[in-house]
Amino acid sequence: MVDWLQHTTGGLLLLAAAGIALLLAMIIWWKVEPFIALLIVGVGTALAAGIPVETLVGSIQSSNAGSLIETGFGNILGHIAVIIGMGTFLGAILEASGGAQVLTRKLLQAVGEKRAALAMGLAGLIFGIPVFFDIGIFVLAPLVYVVAKQSGKSILLFCLPLLAGLSVTHAFLPPHPGPVAAAGLLGVGLGWVILFGAICAIPAWAVGLWFSNWIGNRIHIEVPEEMLEAAKVHDDKPGTATAPTKTEPKLGTVVSIIAIPLVLILIGTFGSIALPRHSFAAGVATFFGTPAIALTISVLLAFWLLGYRRGMTRSQVSTIANASLKPVAMILLVVGAGAFYGRVLTVSGIGKAVQSSLADIGLPVLVAAYLISCGLRIAQGSATAAIAASAAIIGPTIANAGYTQPQLALIVAAICAGSIIASHVNDGGFWIVSRYFGISVKDTLKTWTVLETILSVVGFLVAAVLMIFI
């Protein structure tokens, strides 16, 4: 029995299925943190698959730097920690400086009151690049309250476009943890992830805008009065008002700081292809296009242009930066544990068993990646955990399959698309949306849950169509 379990395709697939079932049981029913659950399941799967203890954890007599635990955690965290940390710094200083309000107000002025919903959608799409999903809601929700109240229309017409923009950028685009983690686990350059993530995200966002308008005209929800009072208090704070203040940053500065790292990373990715190898120009493009360098440049500019030059002290900027890192620690641990689990699946041979099984039933890897991500998302709620686990599961299957960088980027996009499907009561984002916009649970399921599913399906379909031609 043990030999069958460890050395046959059927036995290895059973180990994989049992591991995933245990993972979901620990997270859903036993309320174990995803990081701890992934670590326990990884260790249990390794031992059940017959991986030697010395390979798994090292030995007392010698350095255990080559153990699966250390290489699994170390390889991915060495790749993504700086990127996620710098991206978090960038989002924090943009939030604290009032850049989001400037961006949203200018968009409202540009498109006019009749297209306020479009302005909110664009604000979510642009401001969602550097900030976490929930932070984007906290910062921009007061603007939604005011616009919805002034229009006399349902708050859904304005909050859902904003949520669509925040959701697709959080799911598909670096420097958000999900796509960065998936890129690291699957070995694909962030430039390709940015390019194809944007190509998948924008059509999904556009369909999300259509749905927001359709459902917003059928379900009328008033702006909660207590939220309007909170918005008035919020407006009294320096740099966060919906009307101009003397100290607010310029729109061009805000947009430039958001765009700089994306542009540099794209230049680095495609410059290395277009420019002569080992040339000076290629070296410059590679250096400045390295994600860690590109984000560091943007963060330093943000600290100076949005912080010090506008009167913030070094202590204030440091406090903002330090506070922003609090939610990052658990994200990094989840991603590291997911990478460790992926290493176990590779070394144990489970990855090859999954690959051969997919080939036998004719299921494309991109479809399998999406379905796995969907299942994990629906079961346990966390998008980041779903991405980390999905990439860990599918990674060994595609490790030596000869996929190109664009194809790998599309697989990343499919995983990310699956991670946002069908947000419901086990997802923290579901409750944030319901609470901040005064939507009942029933109506949140009718609106937000359906919107997330639309964004997921459209993003995946774009990736699937592109995969046919690339």
Each residue's pLDDT, cut to its tens digit, for the chain (470 residues) gives: 788 988 899 999 999 999 999 998 998 899 899 999 999 999 999 999 999 998 998 876 555 567 899 888 988 998 899 999 999 999 999 989 988 889 988 998 898 878 999 999 999 999 999 999 998 998 888 889 989 988 999 999 999 999 999 999 999 999 999 999 999 999 999 999 999 999 999 999 999 999 999 999 999 999 877 776 655 545 544 444 344 444 679 999 999 999 999 999 999 999 988 899 889 999 999 999 999 999 999 999 999 999 999 889 999 999 998 888 887 888 999 999 999 999 999 999 998 888 788 878 888 999 999 999 999 999 888 898 899 999 999 998 888 788 999 999 999 999 999 999 999 988 999 999 998 899 999 999 999 999 999 999 999 999 999 999 98
Cα–Cα distance, 127 to 115 (Å, whole number): 18
The DSSP code for 384 is H
Ordered alpha helix ranges (H), 173-250: 177-186, 190-216, 225-235
- pLDDT of the residue at 237: 46
Distances (CA, A) of 28 to 32, 242, 389, 427, 452: 8, 41, 15, 11, 21
CB distance 169 to 121 below 8 Å:
no
Tokens of 105: 């107000």
Within a 13 Å sphere around the CA of 400, how many CA atoms are in the beta-carbon half?
5
Cα–Cα distance, 165 to 169 (Å, whole number): 6
- Please give the span between the terminal C-alpha atoms of the chain, in angstroms, as a whole number: 43
Distances (CA, A) of 107 to 31, 57, 118, 124: 42, 54, 9, 11
Rounded to 5 degrees, what are φ and ψ at 241?
A: -75, 160
Distances (CA, A) of 162 to 6, 106, 115, 128: 49, 15, 13, 9
The DSSP code for 114 is G
pTM (two decimals): 0.90
Cα–Cα distance, 151 to 148 (Å, whole number): 5
Cα–Cα distance, 186 to 92 (Å, whole number): 28
Tokens of 373: 């991500």
- pLDDT of the residue at 199: 98
**68, 15, 7: which is closest to 45 by C-alpha?**
15
Within a 13 Å sphere around the CA of 71, how many CA atoms are in the beta-carbon half?
15
- pLDDT of the residue at 239: 41
- pLDDT of the residue at 344: 93
What's the Rg (C-alpha) of the chain? 23
